[in-house]
Amino acid sequence: MSNLLHTAFDPENFRKSGHQLIDMLADYLHETQSDTSLKTIPWKSPDEQLKYWQEDDATAKGDIMPLFKEVLENSIHIHHKKYMGHQVVAPAPVTALASLLSSLLNNGGAVYEMGAVSNTIERIVVQRICKAVGWDEQAGGFLTSGGTLANLTALLAARRAKSPEDVWIKGSGKKLALMVSEEAHYCVDRAARVMGWGDEGIIKIPADDKLKMRTDLLEEYLQKAKAQDIEVIAVVGSACTTSSGTYDDLEAIADFCQQHSLWFHVDGAHGGAAAFSPKYRHLVKGMERANSLVIDLHKMMLTPALTTALLFKNESDSYRTFAQQAQYLWSDQEEQEWYNMGKRTMECTKLMMGLKAYSLFKLYGNEIIDQYVTRQYDLGKTFAQMIKKRKDWELAMEPETNIVCFRYCPENLEEEAIEALNAWVRQQLLEDGAFYIVQTRLKNKLYLRTTLMNPFTTEKELNALLERIEEVAATWKSTTLNY
C-alpha cells in the first residue's frame, strides 16, 4: 500500500502526466477553433454509454493518458464552434489552470484558516461584480455552487428579513409566498417548495406576448393573496428567462416592491452579466435596486461550473440567513465575519471557486466580460436577421440576448406536423453530432433553441446550421409525407 501511495503522489509522475494533458487540451482547443470534422457531441444512448465505460472499467490499470483521451473524445465539446445548446460557457483556458491549482490545494472555505487565500480572493471578485452592478461599499456576498442553491439561499434571506417571526429558530405557521413570472426558471418554484410553502407559496404572474412578467398584474395578485391570508414577502424578477432570454421589467418590479415593502430578488443567472456591457446594460436597469441578486459566472462570465455569485445590496442581509452554533469552527455566531464563509453559505467544505474568476479578471480585467457579452448578444440579433430572411422560418420573438428560439415551418403543414417535424429534426441533429442545439416550448408551441455561448461561433456556422436543418427536414417530408 505504501508503494502505491508514493507512486500516486510522486512529483515527477505528476509533472509528466500534466505536461501530456496540457498538450492534449491545447491541441483540442486548436481543433475546436478550426474548421474541423470533430463532432460537437459524439452521441451514444445512455445504455451504450454505460456499456462503453463498464468495458473500460474492466480493462487493466496502467497509463492514465488513454483514459483522459477517451474522456475528451466522448464528451460534448462546449468549445466547438457548432455548440449552440445549453447555457454553459466555454471556459477561458486560464480558468482551467486555476481549477487545477485549486483542486490540488483543496483549501475549503468554511473558516478563514482553511481558506485564507480563497476567501480573500473571493471577496475581491464579489466586490468587483457588485461595483459593476452599481452598488456601493455596503454591498457584498459570496460565491456558491450554482444558481439553484444561490436562489434558494437568497429567498431564505428574504424570509428571515421580511417574516416578523424568527422562522429559522421557531418555524412559522403563517402562509408565506413569493411572486414570480410564469416563465421564470424552475429553481425558484423549487426553492419555495423546499422552504415548505407548497403550491400557495408560488404565485405565478402571467407573461405577456414577449414572455415578460405582466407587472401590471402584480397589485391584483397581491390583493388576492392577502384575501386568502397569504403573506407575500418577495418578488423575483428574471434577468433573463432561461427558455426565451427575455428580461422582466426590473424597474417596474423595483417600484412595486418599494411601494409594498417587499424583498426584491433578481435571478440574473444568465443575463446579469449584461451589467458589464455598456451596450446592453440597459437590459438590467433596475437590477441595482434589488435586495439580492444571482449571477452565474459559468454562464456569461467565461468561468467553469459551478461558480455563482449571490450578492446583496446590504451585505448584512447575507448573515441573517443561518443562525447556528458551530463552536469548533468559530466562537461568535453573531459577528459578521466576511472571512468565515460557513456563516453565510449552505456549503461547509466549499470549493476554492473564487480563484477561477480572479485569474480571469487579473489577466484581462472587466473588458473581457464586456467583449464576450456584447459579442454574443450581437450574434443573437444577427442570427435572428438571418432567420427572418429565409423562407419557411419563424422566430418565436426578437431576441434580447444570445438565446434565439425559432422553428422551420414549410408551407401547407398543419401545426401538429410542424411540431413533429421540428422535434424530429432536433433528434436527428443530436444523433448526427455535428451541431448541438436544444428545444423548448413557448406559447404552447415547440421551438428549436440556440444559446450562442461559443466566442468563435460566426455567421458561417449559423448559416450551416440552417442549411443542415433544411436538409434534414427534407428527408422527414419525403419519408413521412411522401413528397
- Residue ranges covered by each domain of the chain: 101-365, 368-481
If one compares 98 and 319, the residue with the highest pLDDT of the two is: 98
Q: Identify residue 357 by its one-letter amino acid code.
A: A
Q: Identify residue 24 by its one-letter amino acid code.
A: M
C-alpha cell read off for 454:
461559443
Give the model confidence (pLDDT) of 323-348 as tens digits: 544 444 445 555 677 767 777 777 77
- Give the contacts of 156 (CB within 8 A, at least 6 positions apart): 195, 321, 322
pLDDT of residue 1: 52
**Burial, 483: exposed, middle or buried (Cβ in 10 Å; 0-12, 13-18, 19+)?**
exposed
Under 8 Å between Cβ of 267 and 188: yes
Percentage of the chain surpassing pLDDT 90?
A: 80
pLDDT band at 320 (very low <50, low <70, confident <90, very high): confident
pLDDT band at 37 (very low <50, low <70, confident <90, very high): confident
* Average pLDDT, integer, range 214-236: 97
Q: Identify residue 212 by its one-letter amino acid code.
A: K
Under 8 Å between Cβ of 368 and 360: yes
Which of 1-15, 16-30, 252-266, 272-286 is least confident? 1-15
**DSSP-assigned letter for residue 199:** G
If one compares 174 and 388, the residue with the highest pLDDT of the two is: 388
* Average pLDDT, integer, range 362-380: 98
pLDDT of residue 328: 40
Residue whose grid cell is 483549501:
107
* Nearest alpha carbon to residue 122 among 151, 150, 144: 144
Strand ranges in 85-216 using DSSP code E only, listed in sequence order? 140-144, 175-181, 202-205
Query: Does the structure show a pLDDT above 70 at 171?
Result: no
* Average pLDDT, integer, range 4-20: 95
CATH number of 368-481: 3.90.1150.170
Q: Rounded to 5 degrees, what angle do the CA atoms 339, 340, 345 make?
A: 115
Average model confidence (pLDDT) for the chain?
92
pLDDT of residue 169: 61
* Average pLDDT, integer, range 30-55: 94
Give dist(CA 409, CA 415) in Å, integer: 9
Residue whose grid cell is 427558455:
243
pLDDT of residue 325: 42
Q: Identify residue 421 by its one-letter amino acid code.
A: L
C-alpha cell read off for 426:
432536433
Task: Indicate the SS3 state at residue 447.
Answer: strand
Segment holding 439, helix H or strand E: strand 438-442
pLDDT band at 167 (very low <50, low <70, confident <90, very high): low
Task: Indicate the SS3 state at residue 161.
Answer: helix
Give dist(CA 458, CA 113) in Å, integer: 47
Q: Rounded to 5 degrees, what angle do the CA atoms 129, 453, 350 make?
A: 45
Under 8 Å between Cβ of 42 and 433: yes
pLDDT of residue 401: 98
Give the model confidence (pLDDT) of 255-297 as tens digits: 999 999 999 999 999 999 999 999 999 999 999 999 999 999 9
What sign does the CA torsion over 260, 262, 266, 267 have? negative
Give dist(CA 473, CA 451) in Å, integer: 21
Q: In what order do the strands lie in the sheet with 175-181?
A: 140-144, 308-312, 292-296, 263-267, 230-238, 175-181, 202-205
Under 8 Å between Cβ of 142 and 322: no
C-alpha cell read off for 90:
466555454
Tell me the CATH architecture of domain 101-365.
3-Layer(aba) Sandwich (3.40)
Alpha-carbon separation of residue 243 from 372, 442, 447, 480 (angstroms): 21, 8, 10, 29
* Nearest alpha carbon to residue 245 among 421, 419, 453: 453
Give the model confidence (pLDDT) of 118-153 as tens digits: 999 999 999 999 999 999 999 999 999 999 999 999
